[in-house]
A and B are shown apart, each in its own frame.
Chain A
Amino acid sequence: MKHKLSWCSIALCVLLAGCARLERDIGGPLDEAVLERVGVGAYYAEILEELGPPTKMSALPDGMVFIYENARITERQYGLILPGEVGKWIKAVYASADADIETLVFVFDAQGRLSSADTEIWNTDAGAGMSLTLLFSTGSFTDTEQYESSPARSLDWGKALTMPPLVSLNGRQSLETGLNGIQLTTSPEAVGQHALELGAE
């Protein structure tokens, strides 16, 4: 009987604390079928006609590259009211997030002709977090900033002056200016060009 009661009280604590779901869709769905309609040698204007302007683009030494991206982030939160007189006013929340990423890449030669293209769709663990809040909250507790970074970010060029020294020194090779290449939104700092900035924080 005592055992049953304790399980009931735990279940009650979870139910009373509540749960939450936060969903964010960034960029809208992509049309992968375009890869069947345009082949190698297609002029870049055909891609623009099919898909509109890319999410990101960059110059390359012998041409340019377009990337189209869509990210759908789902965060689930599970709450638990803590025991005790003070605890009943405090809610412990555990949150975890997943991201569905969709990408289309087009690489063009110096004449603007398509030299290669591909698509990729994958799901990734976007992180987890915990918090203690008063009663309830619907804020995000996972760090999904890398998925949410806006293409308008490069407009904040003035902020570059306040970045850690390693990031500022690497600024001339930035992959966000459209001059030195490009990277997927989900790329971690340990890959390629940004590896120089590891330990900057």
Chain B
Amino acid sequence: MREIKPAVVLLSAVLLSSCTSYGSVDGVDNLWREVPVDAFEKGVTTQSQVLDELGPPSQLINLQNQTVFYYLTENTTGKGKIFIFWNSVDAETRYDRAIFFFDTEGVLQEYAFSKEEISR
């Protein structure tokens, strides 16, 4: 019987193994990362100005005496290693959010952005 050389086995193992990578982005475009910091001013900026800068929010929430614009971008990335005998996939989902609270007159009361940032 013909002997299989270790180098052939090693080469086969390398050729049969593979890697994979994937990613997806969901939600709205995180335009708040592009807008200048002074574009939003508490007590001054209005709902229409925020809409003008960022577009429609992901959610519009009605509180007792406030209206909330909630913007969300979801980014999922994953990497996989396939070695036939041992396979591994790691995925990570991160969120970039912006939230704006308006009073009954439609004037900005509070706003905040996520600590985590998804690069555009």
Helix, strand, loop or mixed for chain A's interface? mixed
Tell me if B's interface is mostly helix, strand, loop or mixed: strand
Q: Does B61 contact A (CB under 8 A)?
A: yes
Contact partner of A154 (CB less than 8 A), chosen from B59, B83, B111, is: B59
Knowing A53-B99, A53-B112, A152-B27, say if A179 contacts B93 (CB, 8 Å).
Answer: no
Q: At the interface, yes or no: B46 with Cβ under 8 Å from chain A?
A: no
Known A-B contacts A154-B59, A178-B59; the reply to A19 vs B95 at CB < 8 A is: no
Q: Does A155 contact B (CB under 8 A)?
A: yes
Return the chain B residue nearest A155 by Cβ: B58
Q: Which residue of A lies closest to B73 (CB)?
A: A152
A25 touches B59 (CB 8 A): no
Q: Mark B81-110, 1 if CB is under 8 A from A, else 0.
A: 011111111111111011100000000001
Q: Does A192 contact B (CB under 8 A)?
A: no
A53 near B70 with CB under 8 A, answer: yes
B114 touching A136, Cβ below 8 Å: no
Q: Are A53 and B113 in contact (CB under 8 A)?
A: yes
Q: Which of A4-52 contact B (CB under 8 A)?
A: 15-16, 18-28, 44-45, 48-49, 51-52
A53 to B32 CA separation, bound complex (whole angstroms)? 13
Of chain B, the residue at the smallest CB distance from A57 is B61
Q: How far is the CA of A151 from the CA of B76 in the complex (A)?
A: 13
Interface size class of A (residues with CB under 8 A): 35 or more
Known: A23-B90, A28-B94, A59-B61. A52 touches B114 (CB 8 A): yes
Please tell me which one of the listed residues A19, A22, A44, A51 contacts residue B89 in the complex, with CB atoms under 8 A apart: A22
Q: Does B116 interact with chain A (Cβ within 8 Å)?
A: yes
The one of B20, B84, B95 in contact with A151, judged by C-beta atoms closer than 8 angstroms, is B95
Contact A23/B74 with A52-B112, A53-B112 known, Cβ cut-off 8 Å: no
- New contact pairs (20) apart from A23-B91, A136-B82, A151-B74, CB-CB < 8 Å: A20-B88, A22-B88, A23-B88, A23-B89, A24-B92, A26-B93, A27-B95, A28-B95, A48-B99, A52-B113, A57-B61, A59-B64, A64-B63, A110-B64, A110-B65, A151-B72, A152-B26, A152-B74, A178-B70, A179-B61
